[in-house]
Amino acid sequence: MNFIKLCVAGVVAILVLANVAFAVLPDEMLKDPNLEARARVISQDLRCLVCQNQSIDDSNAPLAKDLRIIVRERLTAGDTNEQVFAYVVARYGNYVLLKPPLQTDTLVLWLMPFALLIVALGTVAFYLRKRPQFESEDGIEPDAEIPRR
């Protein structure tokens, strides 16, 4: 039992400690807690271009660090969050946004899930309606219990 407890404690410790491992270094942080909070929110939505599925807030890449510092400089200079995003997008394109904006060239991206849902529901409705309710075509009664897979 003690061994299991030890294992659980170990796993908990790993999970907790893993969360402490920020990429944002203390010397990057702004003194103003409001600005720092905004910087964190912004950098969590900016893609690191080096390790592409991480935000710059998560990434240890040098470029991500540079961009984090730029985000903070822009905020200190009085930019709104939108202006900071615009600053980075002007250099790296919409690709840096982890939440792509809704515009003409991203319509497919945004509408595809809904289109697929409609197609899927339509297909299900079509097959359910076509299928005989209680009898199969050869007249044999289907099993009352459908085996679960």
CA dihedral 124, 126, 129, 131 (to 10 degrees): -80
State in angstroms the smallest separation of the CB of 78 from other proteins: 19
CA triplet 117, 118, 124: central angle to 5 degrees? 90
Rounded CA gap, 76 and 70, in Å? 10
User: Which is nearer to other proteins, 21 or 108 (by Cβ)?
Assistant: 108
Contact residues toward other proteins (CB under 8 A) are 49-50, 52, 62-63, 66-67, 70, 89-95, 123
User: Which is nearer to other proteins, 95 or 110 (by Cβ)?
Assistant: 95
User: Which is nearer to other proteins, 7 or 136 (by Cβ)?
Assistant: 136
